[in-house]
Amino acid sequence: MNCDACKDDASALITKGIAGKTWEYFHYSTPRSVIGAGLTQPITIDTFADSYFVVKKLLAVATVNPLVAAANSFSALFYNGATGRTLMNLPINARNLFGAGNPLGIGEILPANLKDAIILPPSSTLQIAVTDLSGAPNTVQLVFGGYRWYDLSKPPVVKRGNARLEWYSQSVNTVLAANAQSNVQIRIDSDADFLVRKIMAVTTNPYTVQISDSSTQESWSDVPQVMSNLAGNAAFPYWLPKPKLIRANSTISFQFADLGAGTTIQFVLEGAKVYR
């Protein structure tokens, strides 16, 4: 793990001293909620009035473990109550969104690490629509790990040059019959560019995919790639060697081809909206 940010944070805390702290490690967690079979339930997190909250890690536990179980567990859709905007274009399967905890006290905690933070203002609400995918009552708890930022005069905005970055995720869903192909597109919003940092997917059987975008008129690979060489999950994503910038109001195209058994796919590009 690259912990340059950890060193910077530690140095800042030592310099400030505990009494004059600017930030402090914290978790916001949802109550353990029973989601009825196949149902959608709204869950909210309300932030404290004295601090921003900067989300850097996502974790979840459920009756069906979202990371390691063979069956699907649940999906989630985030709404930023402060702006009224969703933080993703479609509900995302938990395997493509949340890491997993360590309920038996053995092994490791495997969080989903966010390169670009979700920033929640003071006295705001993060709204989460959770949908059961397991087909049975599902007890779910979601954890948002990060830190509280106490300097209200200086919001913890993530910037690169003159641009402001906000975490965002783009997904496509498709179902392929045996040996079938499909072309699915995402239209990038007109208000911001989209910076792709990592790729994840959930599938029932193998397939190939070739990605291209209209902003460059180029494919992302010379030939279609088998999904296992390209897409990970939330705890073990495929990090792009260099982030890929997709211009506002352009399209990303996915050419999927089934490899013989038929498959159901959710394919996720995670990164950030880039506001200039």
* pLDDT over 60 (residue 5): no
Please indicate, yes or no, if residue 59 is contained in any of the structural domains.
yes
* CATH number of domain containing 244: 2.60.120
Answer yes or no: do 179 and 145 share one domain.
no
Q: Which residues are bridge partners to 257 per DSSP? A: 181, 208
Please indicate, yes or no, if residue 13 is contained in any of the structural domains.
no
Phi, psi at residue 53, to the nearest 5°? -125, 130
Answer yes or no: do 144 and 168 share one domain.
no
Answer yes or no: do 152 and 185 share one domain.
no
Residues 121 and 80: their CA atoms lie apart, in Å, by 10
Q: Which amino acid is at 272?
A: A
Q: Which amino acid is at 187?
A: R
- Residues in Cβ contact with 197 at an 8 Å cutoff, skipping those fewer than 6 apart: 115, 116, 239, 240, 243, 270, 271, 272
Supply 36's token pair. Answer: 């009825």
Strand, coil or helix: 98: coil
Supply 160's token pair. Answer: 């690169």
* pLDDT over 70 (residue 152): yes
pLDDT in tens, 224-256: 999 999 999 999 999 999 999 999 999 999 999
* pLDDT over 90 (residue 112): yes
Name the domain boundary from 124, 156, 188: 156
Whether the model clears a pTM of 0.75, i.e. scores above it, the answer is: yes
Contact 120, 258 (CB under 8 A): no
pLDDT value of residue 84: 80
Name the domain boundary from 101, 134, 156: 156
Strand, coil or helix: 241: strand
Contact 132, 36 (CB under 8 A): yes
Of 243, 240, 171, 244, residue with least CA distance to 212:
244
Please indicate, yes or no, if residue 8 is contained in any of the structural domains.
no
* pLDDT over 60 (residue 45): yes
Of 187, 180, 191, residue with least CA distance to 255:
180
Answer yes or no: do 149 and 188 share one domain.
no
Answer yes or no: do 29 and 115 share one domain.
yes
Domain that holds residue 199: 160-275
Q: How many domains does the chain have?
A: 2
Residues 84 and 125: their CA atoms lie apart, in Å, by 10
